[in-house]
């Protein structure tokens, strides 16, 4: 393995952007990533989108002047963006191509009028359960099992709002209090509105290639993609815990590191409970102690292992297919020392994690964990 490097990254702004087209958002992300990489062409493209119509990728790439090369659009629910990153990374690692683009695009405000509708093909969707309900059931069980308070759940949204306030491209810029989070309207008990990510539109991109003599490049030490096990066999853990634990464990092993070597994380906090369970699955805390870890300040900016310095899905935003590459851009900026007011001092190793929604009794459609090194 000759290795894979991130040569450049770029993103659009995040938020409700009904007047932008998917192509115009992608165009901004791609041109920024190409300029950041110091190149104007790529040999192949992987595009992550969850609800983009057929041709979304080609329209967007056409607008950025990229045609004729192989273009593969991938879908993996909320992990669509990191699946594009993973496939692009593997294409460089295995020598298929020299210079590839990973792009995430999502324009949810033109796809859904309100919340994302339950998928009728799912057991859960057919019974009327959308993702907030599934996460809420996880949260309720977690609260009951581990004695965690509603204030501790809300603290995730508070922390990430403080991070997002430092991110000029974030969707939500205001710093929240626990009272504001708990006082927002109930979506699915115990998750209030400000504990749920919101529909948004954005694009994010990364240019990948072999390692080169360029100090700003970031190395992809490992990248692992995995799908979920049958959920009905798994009664010991909250939903989504096991797939992330297995994926992260493989990614650390392939990178030859332990969790203690990681300086910062961008993780899948689609709902507040998600970040708590994910930090446990990533090995930052034992099961049931993720909320205590948060309370200790460890995962806030200024703590020893910041989680979601960008503001995460809750504050930066969660444009599904773009999220994984937005996380990748944040870790890249952090490892270069280019993260401005939210810079994690001395960051050398960062981890990107996303987990795509589980359906029909599966513990997650897919998860990706990538270990990056500056």
User: Which residues have a catalytic role annotated?
Assistant: 78, 318
Q: Which listed residue (42, 71, 158, 273) binds its own copies by CB under 8 A? A: 71
Residue 237: how many CB atoms within 10 A of its CB?
17
Residue 258: how many CB atoms within 10 A of its CB?
10
Residue 146: how many CB atoms within 10 A of its CB?
17
Who's near 248: CB < 8 A, 6+ residues apart? 224, 259, 281, 282, 283, 351, 353, 369
Q: Which is nearer to its own copies, 83 or 192 (CB)?
A: 83
Q: Which of residues 283-312 bind its own copies (CB under 8 A)?
A: none
Q: Which is nearer to its own copies, 70 or 256 (CB)?
A: 70
Q: Can residue 58 be called a binding residue for its own copies (CB under 8 A)?
A: yes
Q: What is the CA radius of gyration of the chain?
A: 19
Q: Can residue 130 be called a binding residue for its own copies (CB under 8 A)?
A: no
Q: How far is CA 6 from CA 36, 64, 101, 265, 329, in A?
A: 10, 20, 10, 17, 9
Q: Which listed residue (228, 274, 290, 312) binds its own copies by CB under 8 A? A: 228
- Classify the phi-psi angles of 28: left when phi > 0, otherwise alpha if psi is within -120 to 50, otherwise beta: alpha
Residue 297: how many CB atoms within 10 A of its CB?
12
Q: Which listed residue (3, 35, 96, 177) binds its own copies by CB under 8 A? A: 96
* Count of residues that interact with its own copies, criterion CB under 8 A: 48
Q: Can residue 68 be called a binding residue for its own copies (CB under 8 A)?
A: yes
Q: Which of residues 242-261 bind its own copies (CB under 8 A)?
A: 246
Q: Which of residues 17-36 bind its own copies (CB under 8 A)?
A: 21-23
Q: Can residue 370 be called a binding residue for its own copies (CB under 8 A)?
A: no
Q: Which listed residue (75, 201, 275, 353) binds its own copies by CB under 8 A? A: 75
Q: Which listed residue (10, 240, 357, 374) binds its own copies by CB under 8 A? A: 357
- Classify the phi-psi angles of 74: left when phi > 0, otherwise alpha if psi is within -120 to 50, otherwise beta: beta
- Burial zone of 340 (CB within 10 Å; 0-12 exposed, 13-18 middle, 19+ buried): exposed
Q: Which is nearer to its own copies, 60 or 238 (CB)?
A: 60
Question: Cβ 7 to its own copies, closest distance in Å?
Answer: 21
Q: Can residue 104 be called a binding residue for its own copies (CB under 8 A)?
A: no
Segment holding 140, helix H or strand E: helix 131-146
Q: Which listed residue (5, 356, 369, 374) binds its own copies by CB under 8 A? A: 356
**List of residues contacting its own copies (CB under 8 A):** 21-23, 50-51, 53-56, 58-59, 61-62, 67-77, 83, 87, 90, 94-96, 119, 121-122, 225-230, 246, 356-357, 359-362, 365-366
């Amino acid at each position: 393995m000759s290795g894979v490097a991130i040569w450049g990254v770029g993103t659009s702004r995040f938020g409700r952007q009904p007047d932008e087209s998917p192509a115009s958002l992608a165009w901004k992300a791609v041109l920024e990533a190409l300029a950041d990489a110091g190149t104007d062409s790529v040999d192949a493209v992987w595009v992550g989108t969850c609800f983009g119509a057929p041709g979304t990728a080609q329209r967007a790439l056409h607008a950025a002047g990229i045609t004729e090369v192989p273009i593969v659009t991938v879908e993996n629910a909320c992990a669509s963006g990191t699946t594009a990153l993973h496939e692009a990374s593997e294409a460089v690692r295995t020598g298929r191509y020299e210079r590839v683009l990973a792009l995430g695009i999502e324009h949810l405000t033109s796809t859904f009028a309100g919340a994302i509708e339950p998928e009728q093909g799912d057991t859960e969707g057919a019974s009327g359960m959308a993702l907030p309900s599934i996460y809420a059931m996880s949260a309720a069980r977690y609260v009951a099992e581990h004695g965690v308070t509603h204030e501790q759940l809300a603290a995730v949204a508070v922390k990430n709002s403080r991070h997002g306030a430092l991110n000029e491209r974030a969707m939500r810029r205001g710093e929240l209090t626990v009272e504001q989070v708990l006082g927002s309207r109930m979506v699915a008990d115990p998750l209030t509105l400000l504990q749920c990510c919101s529909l948004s539109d954005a694009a994010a991109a990364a240019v990948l290639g072999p390692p080169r003599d360029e100090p700003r490049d970031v190395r992809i030490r490992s990248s692992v993609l995995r799908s979920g096990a049958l959920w009905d066999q798994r009664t010991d853990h909250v939903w989504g815990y096991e797939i992330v634990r297995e994926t992260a464990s493989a990614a650390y092993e392939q990178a030859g590191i332990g969790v203690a070597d990681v300086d910062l994380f961008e993780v899948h906090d689609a709902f507040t409970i998600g970040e708590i369970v994910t930090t446990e699955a990533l090995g930052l805390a034992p099961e049931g102690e993720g909320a205590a870890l948060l309370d200790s300040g460890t995962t806030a900016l200024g703590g020893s292992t910041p989680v979601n310095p960008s503001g995460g899905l809750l504050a930066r935003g969660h444009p599904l297919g773009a999220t994984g590459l937005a996380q990748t851009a944040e870790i890249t900026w952090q490892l270069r020392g280019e993260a401005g007011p939210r810079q994690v001092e001395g960051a050398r190793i960062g981890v990107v994690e996303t987990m795509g929604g589980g359906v029909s009794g599966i513990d997650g459609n897919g998860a990706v964990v990538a270990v990056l090194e500056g």
